[in-house]
């Protein structure tokens, strides 16, 4: 039997992680930083990515140089510089604004299953991206993205839907990403077919 590349989760030694959880057979490549986030089974993250305060689903593909949960500065304050929330960097007599960071942490990015995020895309805090969505390379996503929708541009706008609404709904009901790996491999020919209607007809409960 030939060896399997991702028999277990692989995290490059150069990756920096803080309070994260990864699922089954994930992959995180070089020079990526990930904090306060979860990564679902079989999902992978490319090189030079930054992921913060995110919950990422299963079978999601994230290309190189993607930024997820890129934090905002406090524009409503008299000063938006970090001296207002990290004053301890500049003075031993000042304390960090913990409430500010708690609000940042609460603005979680939710990314569904089977999502593809293209090279260099940016997903801002608090955004939800539905199952099966596609984020084009270089997009800046500031608003929620519906399931099975393709978006691109700055700011990101809808380009098209991947499938008809009823097909997208059927795929979410099938939820193949929750199947055991052996079941997916056994029926791999179904996944390699581009006849989406036949797939849904076969597997819809």
Which amino acids are annotated catalytic?
Answer: 81
SS (H, E, C) 65-125: CCEECCCCCCCCCCCCCHHHCCHHHCCCCCCCCHHHHHHHHHCCEEECCCCEECCCCEECC
DSSP structure string for 121-180: -EE-TT-EE-TT-EE-TT-EE-S-B-TTEEEETTTTEEEEESS-HHHHHHHHHH-GGGS-
User: Cα(120)–Cα(63) distance, rounded to whole angstroms?
Assistant: 7
DSSP structure string for 31-43: T-EEES-EE-TT-
Instruction: Provide the Cα torsion 101, 105, 109, 110; round to 10°.
Output: -170
196: tokens are: 């989406």
168: tokens are: 């997208």
DSSP code for 53? S
User: Cα(55)–Cα(79) distance, rounded to whole angstroms?
Assistant: 31
């Amino acid at each position: 039997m030939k060896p399997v590349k991702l028999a277990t989760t692989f995290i490059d030694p150069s990756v920096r992680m803080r309070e994260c959880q990864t699922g089954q057979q994930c992959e995180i490549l070089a020079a990526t930083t990930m904090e306060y986030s979860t990564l679902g089974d079989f999902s992978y993250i490319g090189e030079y990515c930054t992921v913060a305060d995110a919950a990422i689903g299963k079978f999601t593909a994230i290309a190189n140089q993607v930024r997820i949960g890129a934090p905002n500065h406090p524009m409503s304050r008299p000063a938006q510089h970090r001296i207002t929330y990290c004053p301890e960097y500049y003075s031993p007599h000042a304390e960090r604004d913990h409430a500010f960071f708690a609000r940042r942490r609460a603005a979680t990015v939710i990314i569904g299953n089977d999502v593809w995020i293209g090279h260099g895309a940016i997903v801002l805090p608090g955004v939800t991206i539905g199952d099966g969505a596609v984020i084009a390379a270089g997009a800046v996503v500031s608003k929620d993205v519906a399931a099975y929708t393709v978006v691109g541009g700055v700011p990101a706008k809808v380009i098209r839907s991947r499938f008809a609404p009823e097909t997208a709904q059927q795929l979410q009901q099938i939820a193949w990403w929750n199947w055991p790996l052996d079941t997916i491999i056994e029926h791999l020919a179904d996944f390699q077919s581009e006849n989406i209607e036949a797939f849904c007809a076969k597997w819809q409960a």
